[in-house]
Each structure stands twice: as structure tokens, then as C-alpha cells.
Structure 1
Amino acid sequence: MGRGGFKDKKEYTWEEIKKHDKRDDRWLVISGEVYNITNWSKRHPGGPRVIGHYSGQDATDAFRAFHNDLGEVQKYLKPIHIGTVLQDEDESELNTDFRNLRETADKMGLFKPSYFFFMLMLAHILALEVMAYLTLYYFGTGWGPFVASIIFYATCQVQNGWLQHDFGHLSVFHHRIWDKVFQYFIFGFIKGASPHWWNHMHYQHHAKPNVMDKDPDVRVEKLFVVGEVMPIEVAKKQKKSMPYNHQHKYWFIVGPPLLFPVYFQFMLFRHIFTRKLWVDLVVVLAFYIKFFVLYTPILGLGWTLVYYEIMRVIESHWFTWVAQSNHIPMDVDNDKAKPWLKLQMHATCDVEKSFFNDWFTGHLNFQIEHHLFPTMPRHNLYKIAPLVESLCKKHNVPYKVKPLWTAFRDVVTSLKHGGELWEATYHAHHLS
């Protein structure tokens, strides 16, 4: 028998494996075993892209990070197993130490959720939604109640986004069906968004964070250039383009204000209709029916639309600043097939722990730990943080922790730097 209980099959060198990274020819490696995922990727529950991003590469730690029940997954692996790696180049001390750290976290019980915590999070979201409505119902539609109600509703929506994120990662029940049911209720019915669309995009982000052409969150070159590599590549390719040298200024106009009200609204409905996701459509429409049935009698149709757009703009600012503060100021590069820990560490940073920061960011102030262990319940991320930091120090891997406002400032600073880099390269190649 070969490794992992498989019968001995052909042995492949890494040189041969790396050739199979095309859309119609995909292999990957898990724990030294080689799998042909060319056809299976189309049936992959997480979507073909997220698994396809590891074609020709070692996916051992990515595989472990995304799957809670390894026994269940084995039945899908056996039919596509084609051999073993002749020499496993991934057996470095860093990878061994990281895998040992994961075992330590498991033994510490850090993957076990607190149902009370998640019930509390859901209760406070529902309470905020009720408060938003009752504020207008009992106190009228003057400017004071109108503004207060919008703040309650926007806060509800942001906290909703953090909570559905937990269910999307299967970190609450560790069960695909139950987590999916709650995600559809929270993200679909309460928020009015498509869970399938979110998971499709977000799983890719986690698989290859800040990797150009693979992470959807950095496919932003039509409006922004980020990192050290993208500005140069865009400047060399394009003779006519956006004025990226001013992107740190127009970011405040087209970035946080428009992400939710415009881009996300368009993309989620586009995703629903192109993929014929009728369940997603039903839950999203249920949200809109609920919203307009409740608010139109109080505000009238016109002001209900104004209320909705203002609420989405506030939500968009909140989400965008939090989400980008952990990633945009970090490395953005082409795929270098980095090992899991280095890949995540170069793309993420943490924000200091405090009661407010934990709540305000949905515990994504521990972005490093969340990316390393995406199925770990968020209330346990701070417990593994000291061990992650210690491991990083041992292997000279940068571990960055910032104050919240510094993290926000760094978004603008990094955009300004990217714009200057683009401008210098553009002038050197097209105007000299």
C-alpha cells in the first residue's frame, strides 16, 4: 500500500506534475499523493476555480484548511488518485511546524464552536433590525428617528455579514447542510444577498489571497492598481488607462461608497441569473418583499428607496475599510506557489485586539489566524494568535499587528504608493 492507504501507483516528479496546470489538464498533490482533478473540479462543491487554482501545485494545507471531515472527503479522492510524488519537495521544517501547530490547535479544542456565542450574535442582529423598524414606527419619520433607524439597520447588515461569513466557512456547525441553512437565512433573507455568489468569490480569495488572476478581491485593475507588481504590469501593457496616480483620491468616491450599492448588487444578480440559482433568487426576493412591505407604508416608496441606498452606503463604507485594511497594504503578486503559511502571512495582517475592534470587525482583526485556519470559530482566533506569532518568529516570517486607524490609513498610503509606481513606469515606457 502507498501513502494514505492507497495502492501503489506510478510515481511522478514535481517537474512532471507542474506541467498539468491547464484548464483541461489539472493535477494537484495532497500529502504526497497525486490526483487528476480535470473532470472532478467541475463537480467540486466549492466550485471549479477554488480547486483549480492549485493545479500543478501542492494543495496539502489548503485542502486541510477547507475540509473539516477528512474521512468524508476521502471517498471522492480515491477514484481520482493516479500516483505518488517521487520526492515530496514540500516537507520543509516550516510546513512540518505549521501542521504540528494545527494539531495543537485541534487538541486545545479551538475548532469547537460556542453555540451560545453564535446565538448571541444572531440575537443582536435580529434586535438591531427590529429596533430599526420600531424607531420609525413609534417615533415618526423626522430626521432624528430617520437617521437613528438607518444606523440601526446598517449596523444590523454589517454584523449580518460577519455572522454569515462564519456559516459560510462551516465554522459554526462544521456541517455543510446546517451551516448552509443558516447562511441562507442570515445572508439571503435578512441581508438580501446570494450565499452561493459570496462563497464562490470568497473561497477563491482564501485559496490564493492577493494572488493576481486568482483572488477576485484583487481583480481591480480597471479602477485601481495595488501592490508592487500590478502597477508595473498595468503600466507596461496599457497606453490609455485610468489616472491611477490619483487613485488614493478617487478611492473615497468609487471605493467604499459604491461597492455595496452598485457593484455587489449588480454582481450578485448577475451570478444568480447566469447560473440559474433559483433558491438564491427566492431568498433574495424575500428580503426585498419584506423590506418594502414594512417600510413603504411608513416612508412612502420614494423615501424608502432613499433610506435603502443610504443604509447600503454606510454598510459599504464599514465593510470595505475593514476588509481592505487587512489585505490591500500587503503583498500583491503573481502566483509563486508559496507554502500555505507564507502565502497567507504575506497577504494578511492583524489589527489590535479590543472589545470594540473584535465587534466592529467581526473578529477579522485576527485576519492572519482566520486565513490560516478558516474553519476555526472566530471567538477562538485570539487564543491561537500567540502560537502563530511564535512560529513566524522562528522562521523569520513577518507577523504584522496594527492599531485600527493605522490599518485604515495604510489603505490610502498603499494606494498612493501604487499610483506613483504606475505613473513612473507609465512615463518610462510610453512617454519617453
Structure 2
Amino acid sequence: MGKGGNQGEGAAEREVSVPTFSWEEIQKHNLRTDRWLVIDRKVYNITKWSIQHPGGQRVIGHYAGEDATDAFRAFHPDLEFVGKFLKPLLIGELAPEEPSQDHGKNSKITEDFRALRKTAEDMNLFKTNHVFFLLLLAHIIALESIAWFTVFYFGNGWIPTLITAFVLATSQAQAGWLQHDYGHLSVYRKPKWNHLVHKFVIGHLKYGKKKLKYLPYNHQHEYFFLIGPPLLIPMYFQYQIIMTMIVHKNWVDLAWAISYYIRFFVTYIPFYGILGALLFLNFIRFLESHWFVWVTQMNHIVMEIDQEAYRDWFSSQLTATCNVEQSFFNDWFSGHLNFQIEHHLFPTMPRHNLHKIAPLVKSLCAKHGIEYQEKPLLRALLDIIRSLKKSGKLWLDAYLHK
């Protein structure tokens, strides 16, 4: 009787056992048409799902054939909800003898980073302070009110118009940090909008390698002022944000975005007419775009990286970005994105808490000998030009002076 029962139990165990895979097998499935990845030692076939992935194929596909545990946790605060989508994709587990990290990644760094994340959770650093964002909203509304009053009281002459434009550009730059967070994806490689559609050679000559000759790249540090910022927000970024809201059916966010344009035209058409209001809006966007581009690129464009192949999550983010020194002005000017390292490591952490986790990140870097780059604001801005000039010269030497 007992023997028969044991045999039945053994058969049941064999029925529920799942396939196991080695890293050698998993790493073969890193193609666009064949993608596996590992999360918490479980193996998932995401080949078809990657097309539906809300963050896009590029993000999830980056970890094909690798361990994606830390990236997965970074972007998905509600693990229970996302777990429902993972269940149908599960095909097996790592073999018991296999390490949790692939390609010989430093398991100690990964272990320490996960402990750091647990510390951040225990400190409630992922909890939003609603007062902070209410004050931010009040700040934006106050600036918009000042802008309207300037035109209302002083008229629509050149000087009141310029003052109003700068005030509105400031209010929209502050609101723009919210839009940046809305569509933000952390850096595995340089963000695709850094490249501005073949207009610049950045880092290790991604487009230079293809010998694209749309523009004289050796002068890109000069025409960046005329092409980069004007293209990004008035054209590309606004389009991207609106389309993201529509694709993801975020109708409330879309309504808020549209309300700005309604409010703007209702407010300023009486002063400038329809055509004048349109020109005024684009001038404001032009000013805002310069602000936004310089702030975001001082953390990204200056980093000399390529594919960052097979780095752990912590190391890859430290390689891909840098910080700007903390001060009241720098925090305000950058929307707290001067803590770009922490923002990339913990993309769902509210910005008002980034400075609290920064000392712990620095300590972890010191422990493992990883460079934590932090620089003054002016130097960070000048480094953008230096970086463009350097990569432009490399392109010129590589493809024209042969």
C-alpha cells in the first residue's frame, strides 16, 4: 500500500516537472525572430509577446538570451499584475547547476544592488509625496498666470511678448519633466532620440560606420544649436508623447495634454489672432526645446559607450549616464534629473527621493570600484559640445581623410 503510494507520488512529480535549460542553450535565442530571456531563474519565450510589449520591442529585446531580472523589476512596480502576462510565456527554468548570472557577470554586484533596492523599498523611497507634485503644479500655474498678466497689462508689443514667451517656456520646461518621465525608458544603449535621425554622429560613430553622409559631421558641434533642439520638442517629442498616449489608450493623460493647447489658444488668440498665436506657440516650444535638450543631453550624449554587451544592470547604468552636482538651482533647472544615475537605476522612483538614495549608490560604486561621474552644471553643458566635436573629428578622420 505504502509502496504503491510512493510510486504515485513520483509519477505526479514527473508530470509537474518543468524543462531545464543551460545558459549555452538560452544564449542561442537572442534573435529578433527567436527571443528567450530569464527572470528569477525562470525561462520565458517572448518572441511573439515582444511585438505587443508596451515598452516596445527594442527594450525587451535587448535582454534576449540573457538574465533580465533587474531590468524587469526596475520597470514593473506591480510585479503581481505583470506576472499574469508572464505565465503563458514560461517554458522552463535554469538548470540547478547553472549560475543565476549569464556571461560571467559579477554576481556580487548584482547581489549588492538588489540589497540596495530592498533598502530603498524599506525607506519608502518609491512612495510619492503628493505635496511635492501639488507644489510643482502650483508653480506651473503661477508662471502661466504671470505670463497672461504680462500681455494683458502691458499689451502685445515685442518686449511684453518676449517676456511672456520666456515665462511660458519656463513653465512648460517644468511640466516637460513630467512628460519625460511618462515616456522614459532607461538606457541600455544611447536613447534613440539622441541620434536625431542621422543628423549627428554620437559616441562610437554608429552612423559613421555606415558611411552616411547626410551632413558634415565634423561641424555637428556648430549646427547642433540650429538643428538638435528645434527638431526634438516641437516636432519629434510632442508627436511621440501624443502617439504613446493614443496607442496605450491613456485618455486622461491625453485630455490633460490637449487641454494645454485649448487653454493656450483661448488665452492668446484675443491678443495675437490665430496665426500670431500659432507663431507664438512655436517660438515658446523653440525656447523650451533648447532647455530640455541641453538638460537631458548633458547626462547622456557625453557618455562614450557602444553596446555595453553583457554588463549587469547596475554597471550598465553607471556606464551610460552621469550626474550633475546638487544645488537648489540645479534641482529646479533640471527637474531633479541632475540625479540621472539614480533615475536610470530606479526609473519608477519619484524624483524628489533621488537625492536620498544617491549616497548609497555612491557607496556601492566605491565598494566595487565603479566610477560615479558627477560634474558641475556648466561643465556638463560644455561637455555636450566637446563630445559632438570629438566624435565629428573621428568621423572625418575615419571616412574622409583616408
> Does the TM-score normalized on the shorter chain lie above 0.5?
yes
Matched, 1:124 2:139: yes
Q: How does 1:190-269 map to 2 (within 5 A)?
A: 199=183, 202-203=184-185, 206=186, 208-210=188-190, 215-220=191-196, 222-227=198-203, 229-230=204-205, 234-238=207-211, 240-265=213-238
Residue 130 of structure 1, CA deviation: 2.3
> How far apart are 1:353 and its partner, in Å?
0.3
Conserved 8 A contact 2:37-2:67:
yes
Offset at residue 237 of structure 1 (A): 2.8
Indicate conservation of the 8 Å contact 1:341/1:372, yes or no: yes
Cα root mean square deviation, aligned: 2.4
The 5 Å alignment of 1:378-393 reads 378-393=351-366
2:368 to 395, 403, 426: 395
Q: Distance in 1 between matches of 2:329 and 2:17?
A: 54
Q: Deviations over 1:252-285 (max 9, x none)?
A: 1111233222443555677789x69795876655
Alignment of 1:42-191 (within 5 A): 42-86=51-95, 87-90=98-101, 92-166=107-181, 168=182
Closer, same or farther: CA 239–331 of 1 in aligned 2, 3 Å: closer
Contact 2:195 2:201 in 1 (8 A): no
1:115-161 deviation line (CA, Å, top 9, x unaligned): 11111111111222222222212321123321221122111111001
Report the CA distance shift for 1:24/1:101 in structure 2 as closer, same or farther (over 3 A).
same
Structure 1 residue 408, shift from structure 2 partner: 0.2
Give the whole-Å Cα distance in 1 for the aligned partners of 2:248 and 2:361. 42
Q: How many angstroms apart in 2 are the aligned matches of 1:114 and 1:268?
A: 25
Deviations 1:32-82 (CA, angstroms, capped at 9, x unpaired): 111111222333333443222222221111001011122222222222111
Deviation >4 Å, runs of 4+: 265-273, 275-286
Partner of 1:27: 36
1:39 aligns with 2:19: no
Structure 1 residue 309 displacement after superposition: 1.8
Q: Secondary structure at the match of 1:82?
A: strand
Q: Which runs of 5+ in 1 are unaligned?
A: 1-6, 169-198
Is 2:310 the partner of 1:337? yes
Is the 8 Å Cα contact of residues 259 and 320 (structure 1) preserved in structure 2?
yes
Unaligned runs of 5+ in 2: 1-15
Tell me the equivalent position of 2:320: 347
CA contact (8 A) 2:198 2:207 kept: no
Distance 1:406 1:15 in 2: 45
**Residues 1:309 and 1:68: Cα distance change in structure 2 (over 3 Å):** same
What is the rounded CA distance, in whole Å, between the counterparts of 1:71 and 1:266 in structure 2? Answer: 32
Aligned length: 380
- TM-score between the two structures when normalised by the length of structure 1: 0.81
Q: What SS does the aligned partner of 1:308 have?
A: helix
C-alpha distance in 2, partners of 1:378/1:369?
9
Q: How far apart are residue 225 of structure 1 and its match?
A: 0.8
CA pair 220-147 structure 1, distance change in 2 beyond 3 A: closer
Change (3 A) 1:278 1:161: closer
Larger mean CA deviation between 383-392 and 16-25 belongs to 16-25
1:315-347 C-alpha deviation (Å, 9 max, x unpaired): 011000000000111133125132101110011
Is the contact made by 1:18 and 1:57 (CA closer than 8 Å) also made in structure 2? Answer: yes
Q: Secondary structure at the match of 2:300?
A: coil
1:381–1:119 distance in 2 versus 1, CA, 3 Å: same
Higher Rg: 2
Deviations 1:215-249 (A, max 9, x none): 3234446111111x22xx54443274421111111
Is the CA contact 1:260–1:312 (under 8 Å) kept in the aligned structure 2?
A: yes
Q: Deviations over 1:281-324 (max 9, x none)?
A: 76655443332222111122333223212211110110000000
CA distance in 1, matches of 2:325, 2:297: 16
Per-residue displacement from partner, 1:91-128 (whole Å, max 9, x unpaired)? Answer: 61111011111111111221122111111111111222
